[in-house]
Amino acid sequence: MLTNLENKEKIFHSYIPLYPNGKYAHILLIRETNSYTIFRTDRDLNTAKVGKSLKDDTPITRLVWFKRKQVAPERITGRGVLRENAPIIWEKLSEEHKKELEHAFSEGNYNCEYNEINCQACPDCIYYGYAIGGAEEGGSEKSKVFVDSAFSITSFEDSHEEFSFNALFEYGTMTDPSGKTRESFGAEDHVVPEVFFPSIVTIKDPTEPEFLYILNNILRTKRYGAETTRGGSVENHVVGIVFSDGEIFSNLKFTKAITDQLMGEYEENNQPEHKELKHPLRYKEVIEASQSAIEDLITSESIRIIKKLSGNELEDLLHEVISYTSSEEKLSSLIEKAFVDVAQYRKLIKESAPTKKGKGKK
């Protein structure tokens, strides 16, 4: 596993603990749209009226990227990795582990469907959590991955465009087989390319395989939003990693602090044309501002910071993570470790619940 990280025993658990402990891993991201994207829960893009920055509380309307719309594509990415590696791992598992994990596999293949049947025995179910109804088989697992709504740095007015579209018939024409021309035209708001959403992914009580699995999902996921096969291209830039004994600041505070940094920078460089944070912001300036914002905010947090990775140290770790996850062999061994951790966790749950099988209290 990772060699570029010291004091790992203070950062990670060696097994998935049954009860909450005080270990937190925060992955600080700038999510950047790379094409026209739709983040919405119904017809319109989601927006929120909030203060402009920490120093300037003038209300502005920002785009909101809801939590579920961030996590769901990343879970699907991870499940693809699990599916790909499952047959080899199944062969390697001990009989004892196979017994614990049998619901995650069917004839050696990964058998857990997102939002359909939660197998309760795979890294996705255990890390991200699930809740299923029903008296006998019902149960739930609290998510160990915390994600919150993200807010665009630039305003809604400045970060979206309205496109009108013609709803084509199945044949790809505007005319149906009877010769009737379709009249339904519509208009839809899209997030424009190069809009930046600061977002923090927090992992509660992580093990090392868990941290790597979740970071890998974030780095691999390139499409988000309503139309994931057309457009929706997003790049996740990791701008910091913080290990601590409590939770750090919120996404909104992060966005506001970055805004202050950018505004301060513009003022210093006498760029009055930037007074209103006009889109497109420069990528490099956003990344630098976000790193300064982390430094600023972290000092006022009333928690213990065990390790904060930025600059070269962060680069080194990310390089190592990528060299790990891009190797077929290493990735497979990581997924195997994740499954074994889950098997041991399931065993712990059963042992802690002497009464009814599978109804362990956690």
* Contact positions vs Zn ion (CB under 5 A): 112, 119, 122, 125
Place of tokens 């857990």: 112
21 burial via Cβ count (<10 Å: 0-12, 13-18, 19+): exposed
Name beta bridge partners: 202.
26, 146
Q: How far apart are CA 31 and CA 70, in angstroms?
A: 10
The residue (of 118 and 259) whose beta carbon lies closer to Zn ion is 118
Q: Look at phi and psi of residue 20 and say left if phi exceeds 0, alpha if psi is from -120 to 50, else beta.
A: beta
Q: What separation, in Å, do the N-terminal and C-terminal C-alpha atoms of the chain show?
A: 28
Closest CA relative to residue 37, chosen from 70, 59, 83 = 70
The residue (of 8 and 98) whose beta carbon lies closer to Zn ion is 98
Minimum separation from the CB atom of position 224 to Zn ion (A)? 22
Q: Is 40 helix (H, G, I), strand (E, B) or coil?
A: strand
Minimum separation from the CB atom of position 104 to Zn ion (A)? 6
The residue (of 71 and 112) whose beta carbon lies closer to Zn ion is 112
Minimum separation from the CB atom of position 53 to Zn ion (A)? 41
Give CB contacts under 8 A, 24+ apart, made by 264-268: 265/289
Minimum separation from the CB atom of position 105 to Zn ion (A)? 10
The residue (of 119 and 297) whose beta carbon lies closer to Zn ion is 119
The residue (of 32 and 124) whose beta carbon lies closer to Zn ion is 124
Minimum separation from the CB atom of position 345 to Zn ion (A)? 13
The residue (of 11 and 125) whose beta carbon lies closer to Zn ion is 125
Minimum separation from the CB atom of position 107 to Zn ion (A)? 16
Q: Is there a contact between 307 and 242 (Cβ–Cβ < 8 Å)? A: yes
Place of tokens 């006998």: 136
The residue (of 105 and 197) whose beta carbon lies closer to Zn ion is 105
Minimum separation from the CB atom of position 108 to Zn ion (A)? 16
Return the residue nearest Zn ion (CB atom).
112
Minimum separation from the CB atom of position 133 to Zn ion (A)? 16
Q: How far apart are CA 96 and CA 89, in angstroms?
A: 14
Minimum separation from the CB atom of position 103 to Zn ion (A)? 8
Write down how long the chain is. 362
The residue (of 38 and 121) whose beta carbon lies closer to Zn ion is 121
Q: Is there a contact between 90 and 121 (Cβ–Cβ < 8 Å)? A: no
The residue (of 29 and 122) whose beta carbon lies closer to Zn ion is 122
Helix axes of 251-268 and 283-299: crossing angle, nearest 10 degrees:
120
DSSP state letters, 80-144: HHHHHHHHHHHHHS-HHHHHHHGGGEETTEE---TTS---SSSHHHHHH-EEE--TTT-EEE--S
Q: Is 19 helix (H, G, I), strand (E, B) or coil?
A: coil
